[in-house]
Structure 1
C-alpha cells in the first residue's frame, strides 16, 4: 500500500462539533444499530413500520443475495406513502413538497395537497391513454415539476417507469426505448441548459420511429412556445385538466417491479437495472433518514439530474417519503454566473444540499470570495455521492463553505438503489475522503481475488454479503446477464466491481473501479491513489488520472489537470515529483496534460473513459451523448496534441 493511502486511512477521525450533533438521531441510530446487530431483518422490520401498508407483509425477507424478496406478501403503494399521506394530514397538506426553479429564473411551488391532486389526475390521464399495471412509461424530462408528478402517477397505477437522461443523443435514447418497450413517453418540448434550448421532443420524434411499442407521447410545454403536436401526441396540461377525479390507488405487492434505469452501456448494450416497489420505498426512506437527517423545517436541494438514480432516491421517493420540501433546479450551476449556486440556496432558504463532489470542486475553483459574499447561514449540511471526494475538497467545504458545514460523503451504485455507507448525519464523526461505515441493514467485505476476506487496512475487492431492500433484483429481460455480471466472480457475494479498503475504525475507502486498477510493470495500483496526490497540490483545482497503454510497462498513468493559477510548467514538475515521492518511481506519471476543463456528465461525474480514449487514440471512441459540455472534449484533445508535439 502506498504511503499516501496509508496516511489517509490512518488519519484521525474528525469529531462532529456539538453544534451539528443531533440527540434525536443519536438515540435513533443507537437503536437502529442495535437492531441490526440482532439481525438485519429486525432493523428492516423497524423501517417498514414507518409506512402506510394496504396489507401488512408476512415475512421480512426470504431467499439469498442472487434471488431474494423483502416484505413478502405485503401490499403497498409508493405514491400513497410519498404524496397522499402527507396531503391528507392537516399538519402537512399545505407544506411545500416541491420548490422548482428554471434556469431562466421562473419558479413554481407545489404543496403536498397540490402535488397529490396533479399526480392523481395525471395517473387518470395515463389510464385514459391505455397504460395499465405493469406497462412501461418512459420519462424523458429535464428537472421539472412534471418529473415528480409523472413518476408518482406511474407509482399510483402500478406502471413501471424508466428514466432517460435529458442529455441523451438520438441513438442513446433509441437504444433504451427499444429495450424498455414503453407504451407511453412523457417528454418536454425542450429544456434550458447554459442558456440554450435542448430539443428533447425533436430527439424523441427521431428516436421513436423504430420503437413500435410507443403508442402515445405526452408533451410538456416547458418553454411556452406552443409547439405543434403530431399524431399520437397529447398536451400534458390538457390531459391533466380533463380528468374529473384521480385514478384509483393500485395495491402493489412489495416485490413487484417499480422502475428500471439503464447503466451507461459504454462497453456493451446498456443494462436495465430493475428495482422493486416496497424495497425501493423502504431503502430510500432509510437512506435519506440517515444520510440527510430530515428536520421539520428543512429545505433540501437535490442538485442532481432527474436522469441520475440519485434523483429518485433522494428527491422523488426518499425525500418525499420523509415529508421533506425538495428544491429542484433545471439548469447549470454556473449559469448565468458562478453565483447561481449561492443565489438558489439564499433565495429558497436551503438548509441541506446534495451534489456530486465535482460541484464542490467547482465552487472551490470559483474562489472563497463568493463564500464571503454569500455566507448562507441556513445551510447546515452538504452531502455528496456519485464520485470519489478528494480530501482537499472535503476540507474546503468542511471549513470554508457556509462558514464550514458537515460533509456527509456517501457511496452507492445504480445497482444498489441507494447509498449504503456514510457517516450518519448529526451522529458520526468523519474522515476526509472516506465514505463512513455501512448504514444499518447493510453489510460488506473486502476480499482478495480468490474471494477471501482481507484484514483491515488491506486493499481488495468490495463485495456485499447480505441482501437489502434497494438492491437490484434483475436486469430487464436478461436475468442471466444479471447473475453473470454480479455473482459469477465471487459466488455467494454481490460484486460491486470496485476496489476498497476498510480501515481500523471500520471506515470504507473507495479506490475506484476494478478496471481503474492498473498494472505498471507488474505492480498493481489504483488510479484513485494517484489522483488523490495530484488533487492535493494547492494550484490544482481538478484532476483525473487514467491508465493508458505503454509499450515498455504495459500501462502508465496519465493525469489531466486543471490549474487555477501559478506557472503550469512548475505545477506539472511539482505534481510529478509529489507522485513519485509518495508512491515510488514505478508509479511515475507517464503524461501530465494541462487542460482548461475536463469532460463531465450533467450530474458532474468526470468521464474518465473519454479521457482514456483521447489520450490513447486522440479522440473519444465511446458514447458522448451524456457529456455536459462537448467543448471539454476539444479542450482535452488540444491538451494531448500540444503535449505530444
Structure 2
C-alpha cells in the first residue's frame, strides 16, 4: 500500500451529520467493544417481533443460529409499521416515466400480491424467482414473499438466457415474476423473451408478467398479467410469523469456471444485519430522501433499499435504466428534482461522472446533498477528493464501505456522523463484526501489512449455506483458515484501524518476492490528468513470477502513444516504487465492464495471457470491448 495513502489525515464527520447521529461517541465506543452476540441481541430489540429474541447465538461458523426461537416478519418491519401517508418510493425511468408510492399503497399491494401467490399454491418454503429491474413491482413481489415465508431468488435483468436457466434449474421455483422488458441506455431489453428462451423444457407452474414497456405485449397460455392479478385480488394476506433462521432468499454469485453458487440468507437475520448496516453507514432518518443507484439484481439494493433502507422508513428514489442517460447530467437532475440528501452508489459511477466533466454539474442545485456512501470496489483517493470537493462542494461526507454478497452487509464503514474515515479506505469494522487480516500461514498480520481478510465470528446476515450443497459452502468459505470465514480478498488494517481492501487475493501479485496490490497502482495512475479509469492485472513472468500490466482509459482530450505510456509508467513508480513499474501500459478507449460499471479485470487478464476470454460472461455489458482490448494488446 502506498505510504502516502495511509498517512492521509482522517476526515471527521460533518457538523450536519454529527448533529443527527443516532448515538453519541461514547455510546458508539461501547457498542464497538461489545461481544458480537450481545451487540446483535441489543440491536435486534429495535425491531418489531412477534416473539422477541432472548438468546443471541447458538453454534459456530458453518452451523449457527441467531435469535433461535424468535419470530417476526420482514415485511412488517419494512412496510406495515410506517405511517401510511408517508412517501415510500419515488420511481423514475430513463424515458421520463414517474410513479409515486406511499407506504400505505405499497403495504396494500404487497399484502394483495402475497394473497395472490397463496391462491396460486405458494406456501412457506416454496421458491419464487424475481426477474425484474428497478421497478415498484420488485418491492411488491419481494415483500410479498417475505410476508408469507416464500423463498425468493432475484435474477439480474442483464443475464443471458443460459444464466437465467442455470438459476431456475437450481432453485426450481413455483412462480416466476418478470417484466415484459426494461429500458437501458435508450434500448429496450426484452426480459420476457429471454425468460421464454431460458424456460424451454422446464416445468415451472406459474409465470406472472408485469407489462411496463408494452402494455399490449402478448402472454403465453397460462401466464398472468401482474396488474390484472393484483387488481382482482381483494384479500390481503396476513404476515406469517417466521423463525429468525428460516431462509428468506437465495442469491446467486456468478461463477468463473463452475456453476453459480446459490447463497442462502436467513430472512430475519438479513433484516437485523441490514437494519444495523443502514443505521451506521447512512444514518438514515425517516425524513431523508435517499437514492440507492444499485440494481435490484445485486445484493447492494436489498441491503440498502429493499430491506435495510425501508426498515428505517425513509423515502426512496428508485431509477430504472442507465443513470447517465440521456446525458451525464441525469443524476444531478434526479438529485435536484427530488431533493435527495443521501446517495448510495459505486466508485465506478462516480468515476463515470467525473470522466464526463464538471460542466454537467452546472446549473443544478444539489444543496440538500450531505452524504454519498459507496461500495463495490476500491475507491481511489482522487475520486474521493473530486466527490467531496467538486460534487459535494466541500460540505458532504464521503463514506466508502466494504462488504460481500456472502456477508449480507457492507460491514466495514464509518459510523456516519460519529467516526472518521480516511480517503480511499473502507472505514472500520462496524459493531458486531470481528476481523483479522492474516498471513498465508494464518498468523495475524501487523498494521499496514497486506494479507488475507477473514471474519472470526458469525453474525446474523452471513449466508448460511449454498442451496443444496452445504459441503461447497464449507469448502469455499471455511476451509482456507479453519475457524474463520475467508473473504478471498486482500486487505490491511492501518494504524488507526481503517480497513483497506485492495482487491481479490488473485489480484495481489508477487513481483520478485514483493507482495503488491493492484489498488495502489491504479490509484497512482488515476492521479494523472490524462487518465479517466485504470485497471492493473498480473502477467506471469519467468524471472519475477509476475509483472503488472496497466490498462488505461484516457480522458476525452488525452492523446495516447509511447510518450503517454512512459509518463503513466513513471506515475506508478512515483506512487508505489520502482518494483511496481509495469511491463506495459495499454491505452484503450474501452474496457469490459459489468452492467453496474465495474471493470472485469479477470477478462483483461485472460486476454493478456491467452488472447481469449473464458468463464462466466453473463454480467458483461459491452461484449464489443473484448475485441477492442484484444487489438490494443496485439498492437503492442
TM-score under structure 1 length normalisation: 0.95
Moved more, 53-62 or 143-152: 53-62
Moved more, 616-625 or 261-270: 616-625
Give the match for residue 401 of structure 2: 410
Structure 1 335/619 Cα, relative in aligned 2: closer, same or farther at 3 Å? farther
Moved more, 363-372 or 549-558: 549-558
Moved more, 52-61 or 186-195: 52-61
Give the match for residue 81 of structure 2: 85
Matched-pair contact (CA < 8 Å) for 1:422–1:436? yes
Tell me whether 1:63 sits opposite 2:63 in the alignment: no
Candidates 591, 598, 608, aligned match of 1:605: 598
**How far does residue 23 in structure 1 lie from its aligned partner after superposition?**
5.3
| Structure 1 Cα separation of the partners of residues 381 and 38 of structure 2 | 36
| Structure 2 Cα separation of the partners of residues 475 and 45 of structure 1 | 26
Candidates 585, 605, 608, aligned match of 1:615: 608
Moved more, 624-633 or 588-597: 624-633
Moved more, 40-49 or 630-639: 630-639
| Structure 1 Cα separation of the partners of residues 34 and 215 of structure 2 | 59
Within a 5 Å distance, the mapping from 1:59-208 to structure 2 comes to: 59-86=55-82, 92-208=83-199
**How far does residue 100 in structure 1 lie from its aligned partner after superposition?**
0.7
**How far does residue 529 in structure 1 lie from its aligned partner after superposition?**
2.6
Give the match for residue 511 of structure 2: 520
Matched-pair contact (CA < 8 Å) for 1:22–1:427? no
> After superposition, what is the alpha-carbon deviation per residue over 1:559-608, rounded to whole angstroms, capped at 9, x for unaligned?
11111133323332111112234444432212211111222212222211
**How far does residue 625 in structure 1 lie from its aligned partner after superposition?**
2.2
Moved more, 351-360 or 623-632: 623-632
| Structure 1 Cα separation of the partners of residues 74 and 98 of structure 2 | 27
| Structure 2 Cα separation of the partners of residues 99 and 543 of structure 1 | 35
SS at match of 2:121: coil
**How far does residue 503 in structure 1 lie from its aligned partner after superposition?**
0.7
Give the match for residue 3 of structure 2: 6
Moved more, 248-257 or 543-552: 543-552
Candidates 10, 13, 16, aligned match of 2:13: 16
Give the match for residue 89 of structure 1: none
Moved more, 333-342 or 563-572: 563-572
Tell me whether 1:568 sits opposite 2:565 in the alignment: no
Runs of 4+ aligned structure 1 residues displaced above 4 Å come to: none
Give the match for residue 589 of structure 2: 596
Moved more, 120-129 or 530-539: 530-539
Task: Please list every run of 5 or more consecutive structure 1 residues that lacks an aligned counterpart in the other structure.
Answer: 87-91
| Structure 2 Cα separation of the partners of residues 449 and 372 of structure 1 | 50
Structure 1 19/244 Cα, relative in aligned 2: closer, same or farther at 3 Å? closer
Give the match for residue 233 of structure 2: 243
Matched-pair contact (CA < 8 Å) for 2:285–2:312? no
Matched-pair contact (CA < 8 Å) for 2:524–2:576? no
Within a 5 Å distance, the mapping from 1:289-308 to structure 2 comes to: 289-308=279-298
| Structure 2 Cα separation of the partners of residues 35 and 402 of structure 1 | 30
SS at match of 2:369: coil
**How far does residue 426 in structure 1 lie from its aligned partner after superposition?**
1.5
Within a 5 Å distance, the mapping from 1:568-587 to structure 2 comes to: 568-569=560-561, 570-587=563-580
Matched-pair contact (CA < 8 Å) for 1:32–1:43? no
Structure 1 30/68 Cα, relative in aligned 2: closer, same or farther at 3 Å? farther
**How far does residue 552 in structure 1 lie from its aligned partner after superposition?**
4.4
For this pair of structures, how many residues does the alignment match?
633
**How far does residue 36 in structure 1 lie from its aligned partner after superposition?**
4.1
Moved more, 158-167 or 263-272: 263-272
**How far does residue 363 in structure 1 lie from its aligned partner after superposition?**
0.9
| Structure 2 Cα separation of the partners of residues 69 and 100 of structure 1 | 37
Matched-pair contact (CA < 8 Å) for 2:354–2:386? yes
SS at match of 1:396: helix
Give the match for residue 631 of structure 2: 638
Matched-pair contact (CA < 8 Å) for 1:33–1:440? no
Give the match for residue 269 of structure 1: 259
| Structure 2 Cα separation of the partners of residues 309 and 44 of structure 1 | 21
Candidates 485, 490, 495, aligned match of 2:481: 490
| Structure 2 Cα separation of the partners of residues 506 and 258 of structure 1 | 33
Tell me whether 1:229 sits opposite 2:219 in the alignment: yes
SS at match of 2:141: helix
**How far does residue 11 in structure 1 lie from its aligned partner after superposition?**
2.2
Task: Please list every run of 5 or more consecutive structure 2 residues that lacks an aligned counterpart in the other structure.
Answer: none
Give the match for residue 49 of structure 1: 45
Matched-pair contact (CA < 8 Å) for 1:356–1:384? yes
Tell me whether 1:363 sits opposite 2:356 in the alignment: no
